[in-house]
């Protein structure tokens, strides 16, 4: 299974009552596929505020996004949690509604051993035949999925990719050297997309692609075509937006900044559920300034 080069970790649009806005979901999916060139969408990941969604909401999001995508891009269901049995249940729901794969985050907060991490991923992956993308984000989960653990998991036939959200390029290089044929490594940090590509990563799971996806695709395509100077120039131009979706001008918890950016671009995706809070007026002005085309709006 190839999920493509540019994957968007999609926000969950809410209405004024912070309930899922299904009409805005339809607009958002269309926009991400047609205008921002997303080749896959992750539904109910961290950027989708998975921690605040009920199981029924998640299942409905999986089903509706599959319907709206209509085969034009892959739909990856965020099925992971720090509860193995619950992750198995959500994986089965994703399979039932036609998702193309699942994203499994490392078990967070509880800080399991590597054996516990391995057993967790193995149990969930074996619950269905859906292609699995691991998600290693030690800065949020408190645990690192170590190289040997990933290599053990590669024995599972449906483990096809990993999303790595950290700056350890030594780890990525070793992983790429030892990976089984066809296994894909994705960058999980927008600002590191080009450095990851330069050592052999396949693509990116992005937040900024909500608003600069088409230009990110141009950067990826330029690099793959051998135009490294052009790719580097695009990286430098896009870098302020990469960072601005997480620091605007202070560190602001995602997805508040990207939801603000989408609002400024005409997509009313609503606010965020507590404990997250929306961007302040100062932060919104900072985000607007990242996009020269909005200067006259």
Residue 252 located in a structural domain: no
- State residue 273's pLDDT score: 98
Q: Which of 37, 163, 184, 217 is catalytic?
A: 163
- Confidence category of residue 214, pLDDT binned at 50, 70, 90: very high
Q: Decide if 104 contacts 135 (C-beta within 8 A).
A: yes
- Confidence category of residue 247, pLDDT binned at 50, 70, 90: confident
Question: Which residues, 6 or more positions from 142, have their beta carbon under 8 angstroms from its beta carbon?
Answer: 108, 109, 111
pTM above 0.85, yes or no: yes
Residue 15 located in a structural domain: yes
- State residue 297's pLDDT score: 46
Token reading at 77: 């269901």
Residue 256 located in a structural domain: no
Token reading at 165: 């959200």
Q: What percent of the chain has pLDDT over 90?
A: 95
- State residue 292's pLDDT score: 87
pLDDT 10s digits, 54-75: 999 999 999 999 999 999 999 9
pLDDT 10s digits, 184-213: 999 999 999 999 999 999 999 999 999 999
Alpha-helical runs (H) found in 7-126: 22-34, 55-69, 84-96, 114-125
Residue 54 located in a structural domain: yes
- Confidence category of residue 295, pLDDT binned at 50, 70, 90: low
Q: Which of 31, 108, 118, 135 is catalytic?
A: 135
pLDDT 10s digits, 88-129: 999 999 999 999 999 999 999 999 999 999 999 999 999 999
Active-site residue flag, 135? yes
CATH number at residue 38: 3.20.20.70
Residue 75 located in a structural domain: yes
Residue 35 located in a structural domain: yes
Residue 262 located in a structural domain: no
CB burial of 80-106 (b: ≥16 within 10 Å; e: otherwise) equals: bbbebeebbbbbebbbebebbbbbbbb
- State residue 250's pLDDT score: 72
- State residue 62's pLDDT score: 98
Active-site residue flag, 223? no
Residue 276 located in a structural domain: no
Number of independent structural domains in the chain: 1
Phi first, then psi: what are they for 206, rounded to 5°? -120, 150
- State residue 58's pLDDT score: 98
Task: Find the domain containing 126 and state its range.
Answer: 6-231
- State residue 251's pLDDT score: 79
């Amino acid at each position: 299974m190839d999920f493509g080069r540019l994957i968007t970790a999609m926000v969950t649009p809410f209405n004024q009552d912070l309930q899922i806005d299904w009409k805005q979901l339809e607009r958002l999916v269309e926009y991400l596929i047609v205008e921002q060139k997303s080749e896959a969408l992750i539904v109910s990941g961290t950027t989708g505020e998975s921690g605040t969604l009920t199981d029924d909401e998640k299942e409905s999001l999986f089903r509706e996004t599959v319907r709206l995508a209509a085969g034009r891009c892959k739909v990856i269901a965020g099925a992971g949690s720090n509860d193995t049995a619950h992750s198995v249940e959500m994986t089965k729901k994703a399979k039932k509604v036609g998702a193309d794969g699942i994203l499994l985050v490392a078990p967070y907060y509880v800080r399991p051993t590597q054996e516990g991490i391995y057993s967790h991923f193995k149990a969930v992956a074996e619950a269905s035949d859906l292609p699995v993308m691991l998600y290693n984000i030690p800065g949020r989960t408190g645990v690192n999925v170590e190289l040997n653990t990933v290599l053990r998991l590669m024995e599972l036939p449906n483990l096809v990719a990993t999303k790595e959200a950290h700056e350890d390029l030594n780890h990525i290089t070793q992983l790429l050297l030892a990976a089984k044929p066809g296994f894909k490594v994705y960058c999980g940090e927008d600002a590191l997309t080009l450095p990851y590509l330069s050592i052999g990563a396949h693509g990116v799971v992005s937040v900024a692609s909500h608003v600069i996806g088409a230009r990110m695709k141009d950067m990826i395509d330029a690099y793959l075509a051998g135009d490294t100077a052009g790719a580097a120039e695009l990286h430098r131009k896009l870098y302020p937006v990469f960072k601005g979706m997480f620091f605007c001008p202070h560190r602001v918890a995602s997805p508040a900044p990207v939801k603000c950016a989408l609002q400024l671009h005409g997509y009313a995706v609503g606010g965020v559920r507590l404990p997250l809070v929306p961007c302040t007026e100062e932060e919104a002005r900072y985000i607007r300034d990242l996009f020269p085309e909005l200067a006259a709006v």
